Amino acid sequence: MDHNSTSAMETKTIVSRFIRKLYTCPECSVYFQPPILQCCYGHLICSKCRSKETCCRRCREPLGNIRNLAMEEYASAHMFPCKYSQPGCAVALLYTERREHEEACEFRPYPCPFQGPFCKWQGCNNKVIPHTMKSHNSVEILQGEYVVFSATHINQPGAGNWVKMQTCFGHHFRLLLLNRGELNEREKFLFTVHLIGSREQAGKFAYTLQVKKRREHLTWEATPKSILEPYFKIIMKPDCLRFDACTARLLARKGTLRIHVSIRMV
């Protein structure tokens, strides 16, 4: 490679870095995408950060709703790296394609399936199970597309939540039976199934739950949710199995509720 070619490549790299820096929101460090807003002096801010701010942090002037159309036109026609490029994603896309890709990107951070006040871990999808086995080795991992989820001491006052993992079809699912305590006796218990994967991947599966005792039985069918969707959002919707304390006592055997979980591909 001659000197001129090397200089041209170095110049292109410098320009590329400059453009990327120019198109990075100074507030959240995410690449701009239309609408791109600015203050009266031309300092840029993304629409998401604009909704949280009233003044420009650089010049302290009030923020209006001035759009920078030239920047928007450039952003619409050029490729920008995935926001998970630092963890390892090498894909570059138009801004119209980025959201769909980033939702399913294998390098996006996934939360620990057992997140809570004592575990704030996040990592790539392929590191979730190693983390679980290392840091939460007391959690039971059930194997196969058909398993039985046992919740013991279901009728005892103050009984907590029950969480297990199910592995099948090369994927991992979190099974969660949530006890809402005294918050709502009519919907005291909720059962949800989360795929350790993207929303698109979760849509490729369906699950069936069945609780039975002699002639009495309770059945529920639905599509798993992605682990990226927090369970507290799901429990606000009707899209999970719900039953009251009376039903739990009726279907339990010696204080243990056995929920048959079947997962299939659709």
What CATH number has the domain bearing residue 188? 2.60.210.10
How remote is the C-alpha of 163 from its chain's centroid?
A: 18
Question: What was the pLDDT predicted at 6?
Answer: 47
The domain boundary, picked from 77, 97, 131, lies at 77
In a domain, 197, yes or no: yes
Tell me the percentage of the chain whose pLDDT exceeds 90: 32
The CATH number of whichever domain residue 10 belongs to comes to 3.30.40.10
- Alpha-carbon span 81 to 92, nearest angstrom: 4
Quickly list DSSP for 97-114.
HHHHHHHH-TTS-EE-TT
In whole numbers, what is the pLDDT of the chain averaged over residues? 84
Q: In this structure, are 161 and 59 located in the same domain?
A: no
Q: 73 with 143, same domain?
A: no
Total domains, the chain:
2
Q: Is residue 119 part of a domain?
A: no
Q: Which residue range is the domain that position 209 belongs to?
A: 139-265
Tell me, yes or no, whether 116 lies in a domain. no
- 254 part of a folded domain: yes
End-to-end alpha carbon distance in the chain: 53
Residue with tokens 């950060």: 49
| Crossing angle (nearest 10°) for helices 69-77 and 95-104 | 60
Among residues 31, 59, 77, the one where a domain terminates is: 77
Cis peptide before 35 (omega within 30 of 0): yes
Within a domain: 149: yes
Last residue of a domain, one of 27, 54, 77: 77
Other Cβ atoms within 10 Å of 13 Cβ, number: 10
On whether residue 64 sits in a domain, the answer given is yes
**In terms of domains, do 61 and 169 share one?**
no
Q: Does 98 map to a domain? A: no
Judge if 144 and 229 occupy the same domain.
yes
Is 125 part of any domain? Answer: no
Measured distance CA(203)–CA(200) in Å, rounded: 5
| Interval 103-140: pLDDT, tens | 778 788 888 888 766 788 988 888 888 898 888 888 89
Which stretches of the chain drop beneath a pLDDT of 70?
A: 1-16, 116-117, 158-159, 181-187, 231-232, 234-235
Task: Tell me what pLDDT residue 184 has.
Answer: 57
The CA distance from 261 to 57, in Å, is 52
